[in-house]
Each structure stands twice: as C-alpha cells, then as structure tokens.
Structure 1
C-alpha cells in the first residue's frame, strides 16, 4: 500500500479543486496610474489604490456584477491560489487573514506569506462566526458552492457573508460544474480582476506578460517535436488517481503531449492504467508524498508500459500546476519531462 499523509478521498478532493477553473471573465482592464513592478517578483511592493475619483469600479464574477466604491482594505482569502496572486501583486497589506495553505508557498512570496494570520487550515475552513469576526469587506474563495461555504460544516454561505456587508469573489471556480474549464490562462482573469479592484492594473498586466513569455518559450521549444502519450499519476494502488482535464490537459498539450486518460478521469483501475500505453508518466506529488515510493510502485506493477521500460517517470509538484503564479513553472517542468533532451531553464517560483 502506498502511504502518504493524505488518504485517497483527500487527495482526490484537492486534485479536483486545484484542477477547477472559473468560467467568469472581468471587464476590459483600464489603464491606471498605479505603479507597475518591473521585476519578476512584485511581492513586497506596497499596494497603491486608485485615487478616490477613479471609483467605483465593477467586475463580472461568476454571473454577478461586483462593484467597489473603494479598494478593499480587509480581505479574507479562503484558498491558497488567490492568496498567492494577491501577494504577487504586492497586496499583502490588504489581507486580514487566510484559511491556510495546501502546499509550500512559492519562494518569491514565502516570507511574506508566513506572516499572514491564519484562521483555518488547508482542509478545514473558518467557521461562520470566526470568518465574520474578521469584519472583511472582501472574502475570496475558490468555489462559491460548497467547500469553504458549506453551511452543513458550520461555514458561512456566500449569501450570509453578503448579508453581513462583505463582497465575495470566486477566484478560479464558481461551481463544481466548472471543473473542466480551467486552462493555463485562468490565473490571468483573477490577476486582472484584482488589478481593477485594487487599482494595480498596470502591475497585474506586467505580471501576466511575464507569465505569457514563459509559456511562449515552452511553445517555441516543443514546436515540431513528436507528440508523446502522457499519464499524470497522483497516487493510489487500486484504484489509481490520475490528473486529467482542465489545466492538466492544457499543460500537457502545450508541452507537446497528449493525456492518455479522458478529461473527466479521477480514478482508474489497474487494468486501465496498464492499457494506457503511456510513453511518459508524470508522477504528481503533494507535500507528504514520496516520489521514490510512487515511482517504485509503478515500476513494480506496470513493467510493460513504455514509460516504465524507458525510465520516463518524472516528478511534478502538483502545486506547480495550480491556477496560480507558478503554473508556467509547472508547464516548463512538464515539457522537460515529456521531452528529455529539452532542458529548458525552469522559472523561479
């Protein structure tokens, strides 16, 4: 039995939520006088709101119009990805509390993230009372249905938070039905929305440009290379957990591969995995999962797969494939894994 600190349902829960993408888009980004960062790490740059005359501003999010008369000053973030994006835009002074994290923060923002007050953890969100006691003017979540807003678990619903006078923003996922909509560009939408809401659109566009340049480097590097059949394994020994659809399929395809499993796959049988004929197996690891243990399981039980025969088992940190600031790092790692002679420089996190 493969062991990790996560059991299978927990791994699948995180994988599905990390996979999921919000289908909403924001209004066109206005040019502002807010300062833009010229470095690859804007974190630590104090946020600068638009002058009061520039407000109100509005964005479209999950079928709703959110209007802000001023830049929010007390934000509670209930998911790591939007926390990372706020920190990357230098908005740490606007974050009152966070619910926790499911992975180590990227190096570029780790020090700043460590100072954020915690009111929950990666798999247990703050109760309704604890959340509302923070008196937030903006609550940022991943899904606006269930999870952090599940009233049966004692959490505040979106409606209850709004009744208290706060706005609620769905950063990457509006509902579970959006799970297959995510792409590598999903973070761009949230970054642009944060740019509008907090008056740092120039900074957001600068960061998006940097992300897009990293993506284009991969696209150029793999152009013309043979497409490889790729399985993305994430633990389990019957059934096996695989990562497919959404951002995983987009990353694999952009890197010159084809996911061997259908987009709606989460669990597959040993027989299905053995029949995949994968040329490359990406071995996705969360914190607490050991690459050597996972790869040894694959070598022992699937010796006839081309990927195993040819030693094409590649560790990928699943957090680097989240819809957040390190997704192009993950893309580059996947490209290097699929094409062993590529050796692209992996961007800093």
Structure 2
C-alpha cells in the first residue's frame, strides 16, 4: 500500500546539471537548470471548513466523494473526470447527470475505512457529513492531512459552533457551489450552475393555501423529522408549506407520534431512500392506530421526495419543484 506524503508549499523539483561530454575533449559544459513552472493562479488557496483550515496547492485531481451531495456537486460542475470513486450514496444519481457518472467506481455502499481510502491515493476526500471524516469513518481529518490527503465537508453539514448555519437558506447552498468552483478551478461552471438554480427558484410560485406538513425522514417507533433550521425547512418554506416541527432548533430531530397526531398535518412529506422506502413509511403510518386516523393518512395526502434532494446541495431546487408539482394534485383539506 502506498501512502502519499504531505507536500508543503514552495517545494520545487531540483534539476541536476547535465554535462555534455564529447569523445575529443575533456571540457564539460553544465546545462542551465530548468525553469520553475509558473504557479497556478489562485493557489495556494486556504479555506476555513467547519473550523478546519484546508490548504489547496492546486485544484484537486483525485477526489473520493462520500454522500450524494458531494458526488452530485462534482457531476453538476462537470468534474466527473476528477472522481476516482464514490461512497455512501443516498440514492440514484439525478438523471440530469447520470451519463456523467458512468464508469465511476462505487467504493463502498457505506463509509469506507481509512485504509481503503488511502489505497485509492486521493488528494481530496469530499464529504457530505462531518462524521464521514472521523477516525470511525474515512479517517480523522488531521491524520489524513498528515498523509497528503485533504478533506472538505459540505459547509451546510458543519456541526461546530459558529459554523452550522443558524437557519439554512438557498444563499448558503449557492455559496457552497461558488466555493467548490473556486477550490476546483471551475468558477465558470459554478457561476453557470448558480445562475440556472437562481432562475429556476425565482420562477417558482409557492402553494398559497397555508398547508401544514410533517417531514417524515425515517423511523418507526419514533419518527425522525425535518426540524426548523436545515434543508427540510428551507425546502418547505420555498414550497409554501408550514413545518409542524419548525420550532425545533435542529436540522433533523426525533418527534413523538403523539405530537404528530396533536398537530394533525395537512400533508406528509415522505423522504424516499434505499434504507427507508416510501412504501415502508406508509406502512408505518397506516399500522400505527393513532396516525392511521389522521386525515392526511386516510386520504393519502403524501408528497414524495428522494433523499438525495433533501440534504443541502445542488438538487434542493429540484426538491421544491417536485413538491409543488405534487401539491398541484392535492385537494385542499
């Protein structure tokens, strides 16, 4: 197994003097040292990422993406040639970029361990969650850095005090796209993507009926729901829905079924994932005697969104569009 060593700034290859020796003379002439290659504009670049300073000497070229948000950020920016592998996907890649994902190896269905990561010799691990780059995950950030592997966590997923967004907005999401464009020397592609997402967002008309909603992410005995400060809240706001868990100061949180019943949501957002399908969630709602009597369950006022669109990233506008298209078919309670 080969591990890359951390490269420090300013290290240049030394070119030994070459001597031309002829058969008829003892005179030798040293060649001129090769000139140092010009520095790439904008590098070295240091970013403060979830409280960790990450320095890029150049645009990353060998990237392992963990979670769908990081994978699809790379694909949306047209950087699929930089991906040496993906891991821990939340679902299928968007059809929009499916062709770009062809041939990219899936390293692990979950988070690969440090040894497996180092065997790939990445120069960057791009993680959707902070927990992806810990000693229990792909490797501790400091350890990986000492071995020449940078790490970058989606800023919206930061949990460190002062770094977690107080209440996620689309401006935060677009800012990550802009920063990713800077890191990967793909600012033009980032600007184009941001402009497209802004235009799509501006073209949306929120549902104006004041419908309340439960964001049902996972769980059976206790539901795991979208709280009031993260992507679920941001997406529901843009769709015109009132989150019954808006007063919970978390991105996602547990909530008792009793509270769900008491709030009696008009619609239920079902987050579809490989580990928690829509059918499974509907089964949970209909098997629970309390929730089975909710009008939203009785009348199957369900809205379905893929998990990969529900974490802060390039598919959040798509999530809003998906909700609005389904809300157009939902009769008023």
Same fold? TM cut 0.5: yes
| Residues in 2 aligned to 1:329 and 1:131: alpha-carbon distance in whole angstroms | 31
| Residues in 1 aligned to 2:194 and 2:171: alpha-carbon distance in whole angstroms | 9
Partner of 2:28: none
Are the structure 2 counterparts of residues 103 and 176 from structure 1 closer, same or farther at C-alpha, using a change threshold of 3 Å? farther
Q: Shift of residue 65 of structure 1?
A: 4.4
Are the structure 2 counterparts of residues 142 and 320 from structure 1 closer, same or farther at C-alpha, using a change threshold of 3 Å? closer
Partner of 1:256: 240
Q: Does 1:269 align with 2:232?
A: no
Q: Shift of residue 165 of structure 1?
A: 2.1
Partner of 2:141: 158
Whether the aligned pair in 2 keeps the contact of 1:76 and 1:140 (CA below 8 Å) is yes
Q: Shift of residue 255 of structure 1?
A: 1.0
Of 267, 291, 305, which residue of structure 1 is paired with 2:294? 305
Q: Which TM-score applies when normalising by structure 2?
A: 0.75
Of 74, 77, 96, which residue of structure 2 is paired with 1:108? 96
Q: Which TM-score applies when normalising by structure 1?
A: 0.72
Q: Shift of residue 79 of structure 1?
A: 2.5
Whether the aligned pair in 2 keeps the contact of 1:233 and 1:282 (CA below 8 Å) is yes
Are the structure 2 counterparts of residues 226 and 140 from structure 1 closer, same or farther at C-alpha, using a change threshold of 3 Å? same
Q: Does 1:222 align with 2:206?
A: yes
- Structure 2 unaligned regions, length at least 5: 1-37
Whether the aligned pair in 1 keeps the contact of 2:309 and 2:316 (CA below 8 Å) is yes
**Where does 1:1-349 land on structure 2 (aligned, <5 Å)?**
52-58=39-45, 59-121=47-109, 123=110, 125-144=111-130, 147-151=131-135, 153=136, 155-172=138-155, 173-175=157-159, 178=164, 181-218=167-204, 221-222=205-206, 225-245=208-228, 246-261=230-245, 262-263=247-248, 264=250, 266-287=253-274, 289-295=276-282, 297-299=284-286, 301=289, 302-308=291-297, 310-340=299-329
**Superimposed CA distance per residue, residues 118-141 of structure 1 (whole angstroms, 9 cap, x where no aligned partner):** 3322x2x22222222322222212
Q: Shift of residue 160 of structure 1?
A: 0.5
Q: Shift of residue 164 of structure 1?
A: 1.1
Q: Shift of residue 286 of structure 1?
A: 1.0
Whether the aligned pair in 2 keeps the contact of 1:142 and 1:174 (CA below 8 Å) is no
Number of matched pairs: 284
| Residues in 1 aligned to 2:328 and 2:227: alpha-carbon distance in whole angstroms | 19
Are the structure 2 counterparts of residues 341 and 193 from structure 1 closer, same or farther at C-alpha, using a change threshold of 3 Å? same
Instruction: Specify the structure having the higher radius of gyration (Cα).
Output: 2
- Structure 1 unaligned regions, length at least 5: 1-50, 343-349
Are the structure 2 counterparts of residues 296 and 138 from structure 1 closer, same or farther at C-alpha, using a change threshold of 3 Å? closer
Q: The residue matched to 1:82 in structure 2 has which SS?
A: helix
Q: The residue matched to 2:226 in structure 1 has which SS?
A: coil
Q: The residue matched to 1:156 in structure 2 has which SS?
A: coil
Q: Shift of residue 309 of structure 1?
A: 5.0
Q: Shift of residue 227 of structure 1?
A: 1.6
Higher relative contact order at CA 8 Å, sep ≥6: structure 1 or structure 2? 1
Moved more, 163-172 or 63-72: 63-72
| Residues in 2 aligned to 1:162 and 1:240: alpha-carbon distance in whole angstroms | 38
Q: The residue matched to 1:315 in structure 2 has which SS?
A: strand
**Superimposed CA distance per residue, residues 314-336 of structure 1 (whole angstroms, 9 cap, x where no aligned partner):** 22222222222221111112233
